[in-house]
Amino acid sequence: MEKAIIFDMDGVLINSEPLWKIAEIEGFAKVGLDVTAKSLEESVGLRIDEVVKIWHNKYQWTNKTVDEVTDDIVNILIREIKHQGKSLPGVINLLEELKSKGFKIGLATSSYQRIVDVVLDKLEIRTFFDVTHSAEFEKYGKPHPAVFMTTAHKLNVKCTNCLVFEDSLNGVISAKAARMKVIAVPEKTHTYNAKISLADKVINSLTDFNVETVEEFF
């Protein structure tokens, strides 16, 4: 029976969470909001349009639409990824080992597809993935399980035969709701949330994961 490994992208494959904060702070400043990195932590893992809607519901700015602010933030993020995006420790080695063992590999992210394309090219990891899927194409983003369920469907693997690597609580909830096993790799720039222990295992870094133990999760 085929098995798959599915990766979240931001904060798991690329050091983009600090870049998201730069983009959101700069983007929201264009509509007069003075947001802080700390205030943005609760929305980590959510789709960016949903994040912007949350802030708009609170502050009701009128000089730009939600879509325009969303587009501003995405454009700023892409600028920052191209300038300083780097893979996180252990990413390349883990992808190579999983590929060599014949696992199907998927990517399931809240980020828009044009961000996914920039990241895959910047890190030069596109060829490792059998499937990539963005919650942009789902009615609901994480913590709804749809993005993971669709990724499994595209991989032609049962959800119960998928192991997910996630960095955020919203992502862990999403993957567990899809009936997948989850390894949490908490992102280091965020305040640690003890609820992330909902995952089947919590590790400090992808370098700490031993591929020889992967079968224990199925």
Respond yes or no: is residue 67 known to be catalytic: no
62 by Cβ neighbours in 10 Å (0-12 / 13-18 / 19+) ranks as: exposed
Among the listed residues 192, 187, 162, the one whose alpha carbon sits nearest the alpha carbon of residue 177: 162
* Contact of 183 with 165, CB cutoff 8 Å: yes
Respond yes or no: is residue 200 known to be catalytic: no
* Contact of 17 with 190, CB cutoff 8 Å: yes
Q: Is 58 left (phi over 0), alpha (psi -120 to 50) or beta?
A: alpha
Helix, strand or coil, per DSSP, at residue 179:
coil
Q: Which residues are catalytic?
A: 8, 10
